[in-house]
Structure formats: C-alpha cells, structure tokens
A and B are shown apart, each in its own frame.
Chain A
C-alpha cells in the first residue's frame, strides 16, 4: 500500500506541475462565467442553462484531462527511464500501475471538486439558490471519470500513447451511445445477431448510467437504487479494467 501511495502522490504532484491542468481549470472557469452570458440571452430560467452548461463543461474538461494525461501516464516513465529505477526497488509492477492510476484519478477528482464548488457558487450567485444536489451529479461524473481513467490506464499499457488517447476518447463517445445498442437488440431479427449485440453492450461501458444531470437540473427524485447500483457498476468495471491492465503490465517488455 505504501508503494502505491508514494507513486500516486508523485503522479499527482507531477500532474499538478503540468501547466495543462491549470489551463483546463482556467478554461472551465471561463466556461462557467460565460454560462451567465448564455443565461442573459435566454427568456426565463437562467439557472437551468447555467447548470446544464456547468455540468457539461465539467464532464468535458475532466474527460480531456483523462485523455491527455493518459498519453503520458506510462510512456513518460519509460522515456525518462524512471520506471527502471522504480521497479528495481521493492515495488511490484501492479503496484506501480495502480499508483499511477490513483495519482491520475486524484488529479481528476481534485479538479472535479474545485469545478463543482465553482458551479454551486455560480448557481447560488446568479439567483438559483444553494443546490447541493449538484454535488451528486458531479460525484457521478467523478465515477464516470474513474472508469474512463481506468480505460486510459489499460490503453497506456496496451498500445502507443497517441493511440491510447484516441481509444480513451472513443470509449467516452461509445460509452455515451452504448445504451442504443441495447435498444438495437430489440429490433434485430435473428437471435445470433441479437446475442452478439447484447454481448457487445455488456463489454462496452454504459457511461449514461452515471448521468444524473437531468434529474438534478429539474429537481426530480432519484431512486437510491439507481445511485447505489451505478456505484457498484462503476467500481466493478474499474476493478475489471485495472486487473486487466495489471495483468498486461506484468508481462510487458519495458525495453
């Protein structure tokens, strides 16, 4: 555990030193501020637009952080040869990988927290009242990012850095439309095709399971089971991806 914690802390510090993270944070602040401008352009509910813009902005920028950082996650360690020094110490490969994952996830979550606080403040400042449920929506975005960062970690050991980023981005896109695969199974005529599409549906993550934006923006009730099961789904999927990543990294030739 100590090894994982130290590697995670280093990854986090390294990520914070990357100016690109501050750039994204700045961008998100600008976006949240501009949401007020969109609010002025509308007739009626301004806070709905600010919430929609804010939540979508948070999701988008966190996704960018996950995608961009995944390029550097392992490759930078190999390029700078620091991985050899680390693995020469009593650190197992899976510990190294998990440390990198936790560090990257921590970076994402710290940004998420800052952006969430900012969003809640903006909504409050612009007359939408204090809406703590926004933290629920952003927490679920955090869970989505945990899955996405796990994918980024897996791809960083499976393939080349640029391809890893492209694949992570593809997972984000596909993950948000995969629900339609399930709908497709109902319309397919043959049982073989239906089974194949069903299998594909279960293999591809359904990131819409973590989407509670509509309920939060419109103040709708959210069943506790939906939150609980989404949590289980996200954690199990993340664990699966990390196990696969660790297995692959164990046998990876680092030369």
Chain B
C-alpha cells in the first residue's frame, strides 16, 4: 500500500514539475526576428494535399489562427509575411470572402511603408475579383478602402466601376460612381446629366429614382445658372439695374423663353447678387 502511495506521489510531483516548467516557459520572452511561426508555413499545394480533400477547412483553421495571431499587440514584427499568409488562405479557398476582406483590413493596419502595404492590399483585392468576379461586395470594399485609407481615387474609381457593373449590385454603387467620377474625372454638365439620366432608368425603387432626380435637378440648375448669370450681368451693365422678372429679358429679345428648371419651375432672380437661383428642391419621402 505504501508503495502505491509513493508511486502516486512521484507521479504527482513529476506532473507538477511539468506544469511549473511550462508556466515558467510561458513567461520567457523569445524574439521572433524572422516571423519564425510564419516562416515554415507550407505551400498551398502541400496543404491542399495534406488536407485530404478538406482544403476549405484548412483555410478556416489558418484564417482563425491568423486572426488570433495578428490580434497580439505584443508582437512588433507580426506583420511580417502578412500577405503570404492571406495569399495562402485564399489559395486554399479562393472563394473565401472574409479572408480577402479581413486580410486587406489587417494589411492596412501598419502606418509604415504605406505604399508597399497599399500594393499588397490591391494585389489581394485583385485576386479576390479574379476568383469571385460576380462579388460586388468585395469590389465595393476595395473601393472604400482605397478612398478612405489611401485617398487613392484612381484605384477607388477602378474598383467602384467593377462593383457597379456587376449585375445585381445595389443601385447606390452607380450613384457613388457618378458622384466620384464627376469630381475625379471632371465631367462636363452634359456628361454628368446623361450619366444620371441613364442611372435613373436602372432605378428599381422610388427612393433610388428620387436620388437620381435630385442629382439631375442639381446639375441642370448649375448648368442653367452658369448660362443665365452672365446674361443677368450683361443686363445690369447695360440698364444699371437687375431685372425683377425674366419676362423683361424675353420681351427685350435677350432670351427666347422664361428659363425653367428641371421640374418646369421658373428660376428666381436674387436681387442682392443679381443671380439666378433654382426655386425647387427635391424632397424624399
């Protein structure tokens, strides 16, 4: 009996020894200069073979691990091989939407070497769009990331065009594209108006249609104001006063008809600045 107790005691002591050693090892900080944990990641081909037909599950495990790994703020060099890791995950499962999205977000985190990281983000999003050409969500995410994080309007527009052209994509993408393109590509009023008219035709809800109408109204008004204001300036220069109504200009042969806005309402003449102003604003229900 005594022997049994001694054996149990020895086993318990040895077990306690391993626990103490393990806990002590946890406290020892070891540098990982080359991203050792990442350096030996096998290739996608090898992992696919080893997964025995479960490449999707292997991608899941790597993805879960990557989220935990990159969430460790203590690791200064954790962003090494970042692109390689997400490239590997998306090689294993090329349709892994979240891996592209979250991978791109993590790559954007470091504030150093922004240009290098931006190129990595672009490569990851381009790969996503090659593998999932019908996925407007990923293209839209890419556009917003380029717009908000990097202020790269050329790439933002490129991704937004892709997103907007995907059948079934939300109507707002076409609207964003119009708004961004107007500013970035310097569209003329005519180009902008014809774009918004075209977009209005594709609207499926009253709200979408109303937003387009508002844009067309704004553009038509701006275009007309640009045309009418010089006429008012000339009138003021000739007669020494601002006209109080458009009919005066029509009667004098300066205008063919009373100018009206997109909704057929007559423009107002602001006496203080002697300028034309649209009277109606589009309301949303």
Residues of A within 8 A of B (CB): 38, 41-45, 48-49, 52-53, 55-56, 59, 172-173, 176-177, 180, 207-208, 211, 213-214, 217-218, 220
**Is B15 interfacial (CB-CB < 8 Å)?**
no
- Are B54 and A56 in contact, CB atoms less than 8 angstroms apart? yes
Query: What is the distance, in angstroms, from B258's C-beta to the closest C-beta of chain A?
Result: 58
Which of B53, B54, B96, B97: most chain A CB closer than 10 A?
A: B53
- Are A180 and B49 in contact, CB atoms less than 8 angstroms apart? yes
| A177-B49, A214-B95, A218-B95 known; A42 vs B55 contact (CB < 8 Å) | no
Q: Which residues on the A side are within 8 Å of B60 (C-beta)? A: 38, 42, 48-49, 52-53
Q: Which residues on the A side are within 8 Å of B95 (C-beta)? A: 214, 218, 220
Q: Mark B20-45, 1 if CB is under 8 A from A, else 0.
A: 00000000000000000000000000
Which of B49, B56, B95, B101: most chain A CB closer than 10 A?
A: B56
Query: What is the distance, in angstroms, from A214's C-beta to the closest C-beta of chain B?
Result: 6
Chain B residue at minimum C-beta to C-beta distance from A208: B53
Q: Which residues on the A side are within 8 Å of B63 (C-beta)? A: 42
Total contacting residues, chain B, CB less than 8 A: 19
Can you report 24 A-B residue pairs in the complex whose CB atoms are below 8 A from each other?
Answer: A41-B68, A42-B60, A42-B67, A42-B98, A43-B98, A45-B97, A45-B98, A48-B60, A49-B60, A49-B64, A52-B56, A53-B57, A59-B54, A172-B52, A176-B52, A176-B53, A177-B49, A177-B52, A211-B53, A214-B55, A214-B56, A217-B56, A218-B95, A220-B95
**Is B102 interfacial (CB-CB < 8 Å)?**
yes
**Which residues 113-168 in B have Cβ within 8 Å of A in the complex?**
none
Cα A52 to Cα B99 with chains together (Å): 15
A-B pairs, top 10 by smallest CB distance, nearest first, are A44-B98, A176-B52, A52-B57, A56-B54, A56-B57, A211-B53, A218-B95, A52-B56, A176-B53, A49-B60
Residue in contact with B54 in the complex, picked from A38, A43, A48, A213, CB distance below 8 Å = A213
Residues of B within 8 A of A (CB): 49, 52-57, 60, 63-64, 67-68, 93, 95-98, 101-102
Cα A208 to Cα B98 with chains together (Å): 25
Cα A52 to Cα B52 with chains together (Å): 13
Chain B residue at minimum C-beta to C-beta distance from A51: B56
Q: Which residues on the B side are within 8 Å of A42 (C-beta)? A: 60, 63-64, 67, 98
- Are B67 and A207 in contact, CB atoms less than 8 angstroms apart? no
Cα A201 to Cα B156 with chains together (Å): 48
Q: Which residues on the A side are within 8 Å of B49 (C-beta)? A: 177, 180
Cα A52 to Cα B57 with chains together (Å): 5
Cα A207 to Cα B51 with chains together (Å): 13
Query: What is the distance, in angstroms, from A81's C-beta to the closest C-beta of chain B?
Result: 38
Query: What is the distance, in angstroms, from B68's C-beta to the closest C-beta of chain A?
Result: 7
| A43-B98, A44-B98, A214-B93 known; A59 vs B53 contact (CB < 8 Å) | yes
Q: Which residues on the A side are within 8 Å of B101 (C-beta)? A: 44
| A42-B64, A42-B67 known; A207 vs B102 contact (CB < 8 Å) | no
